[in-house]
Amino acid sequence: MLDLLVQNATLPDGRTGMSVAVLGEKIVEVGARIQAAAHQMLDAQGYLLSPPFVDAHFHMDATLSYGLPRVNQSGTLLEGIALWGELKPLLTQEALIERALTYCDWAVAKGLLAIRTHVDVCDPRLLAVEALLEVKKRVVPYIDLQLVAFPQDGVLRGARGPEQHINNLKRALDMGVDVVGGIPHFERTMADGALSVRLLCELAAERGLRVDMHCDESDDPHSRHVETLAFETQRLGLHGRVTGSHLTSMHSMDNYYVSKLLPLMAEAQLQVVANPLINITLQGRHDSYPKRRGMTRVPELLAAGINVAFGHDCVMDPWYSLGSADMLEVAHMGLHVGQMTSQAAMRQCFDAVTVNPARILGLNGYGLEAGCNADFVLLQARDPVEALRLRANRLQVFRKGRLLACAPVWSSTLHLQGRPSSTAYIA
């Protein structure tokens, strides 16, 4: 006897009338119209059943702190970093944990069940590291949380010399942080940025860890740290285990140079996270008109065979005042900024918040196939493009066969003579 049988679902690949059979925590069969007894039956009514959303780039230590201690007036990345520096001494562990847990509640309700979050390691108390390690433990039943040791103030920019932040970062890794981070474009010089990439990749190689670096998050067309990241990945044999996040300078780079860079990134199996909501607002702030969009070259990266995900990056923090853990909103913005409007490109945008980030995190048992974890989201949409158009309602969210969240069907009642009595925005 099955524990759960989902029937009449549409899958992201377009198959309709599909059943998903669950025994315990696992999917045991996916097929057309499976007939079997189950403790629980779920009629998907033709709606889209997707594997859960995954966010490959977030800052959970800063989330829900908007307005503390003040609001970012210029809207720039640099003022955001300065503001975070003002907030850091005021942080308490209880408040960090509470805000992060609230965000995780939102995430579950939106079907977002795996998050890679950067955590600042420049505070010698490592308060945020301790808090997020505690959060990681508490949310294990419902969210896979992966932590990146992120030297927000520059790993080589410690006031007491370069060892200061490096030692903090190593301590964070010793405490159980999963991934090595970095911020080469914020080091004092281009040379220091390149040195930081080398040192941090070597540290990851020594410890057998993955790397995820904030890289070239600027409008500087001459920023070259992604080239160094690809080179070090290749040199140290870290293929497939290194991610470059943001890469916004690629937006402004010379086209000839990019034509050389893309194959180098592909050769190193570098993975990429673009953060469209954040970079469309942070970048181009020093431009008059025309204003650059400041998102990395997503369609071109995908065409070069490079795995690209869209990340949320920020929600209600020093860098961004909006957001609600909705990865469809993230993908919706990515689609617009990248002009990814063909049917195929829109489906790539859906992949960029599901299967692509799952690869970046290296999630085991992710997907809608026999043997995978019984983790899925039933969306009030009939296919991925409609899900993006509507930023669709999450009707049911399951993790390991257990219902975590549900919401009533969205529909607006109409009071119009001669017209239908309601609409759900479906033509």
Binding residues vs Fe ion (CB under 5 A): 313
Joined tokens for residue 331: 């993908």
Minimum distance between the CB of residue 387 and Fe ion, rounded to whole angstroms? 25
What CA–CA distance (Å, rounded) separates 9 from 33?
Answer: 9
Minimum distance between the CB of residue 245 and Fe ion, rounded to whole angstroms? 6
What CA–CA distance (Å, rounded) separates 301 from 244?
Answer: 12
Q: Which helix (H) or strand (E) holds 350?
A: helix 343-351
Minimum distance between the CB of residue 99 and Fe ion, rounded to whole angstroms? 17
| Residue closest to 52 by CA, chosen among 374, 411, 392 | 374
Catalytic residue set: 217
63/348 with CB nearer Fe ion:
63
Minimum distance between the CB of residue 150 and Fe ion, rounded to whole angstroms? 8
Helices (H), 181-244: 190-207, 225-235
Strands 402-406 and 394-399: antiparallel
216/386 with CB nearer Fe ion:
216
CB neighbour list of residue 324: distance below 8 Å, 6 or more residues apart: 106, 110, 315
Helices (H), 110-189: 127-139, 163-175
What CA–CA distance (Å, rounded) separates 211 from 118?
Answer: 11
* DSSP SS3 for 249: helix
Other CB atoms within a 10 A radius of the CB of residue 233 amount to: 28
Minimum distance between the CB of residue 72 and Fe ion, rounded to whole angstroms? 15
Q: Which residues of 31-48 are buried (b: 16+ CB within 10 A; e: fewer)?
A: eeebeeebeeebebeebb
120/313 with CB nearer Fe ion:
313
58/350 with CB nearer Fe ion:
58
51/334 with CB nearer Fe ion:
334
CB neighbour list of residue 368: distance below 8 Å, 6 or more residues apart: 11, 12, 20, 27, 30, 49, 50, 51, 376
Q: What DSSP state is assigned to residue 77?
A: H
Strands 179-180 and 144-150: parallel
Q: Which residue is nearest to Fe ion (CB)?
A: 313
96/378 with CB nearer Fe ion:
96
Minimum distance between the CB of residue 367 and Fe ion, rounded to whole angstroms? 27
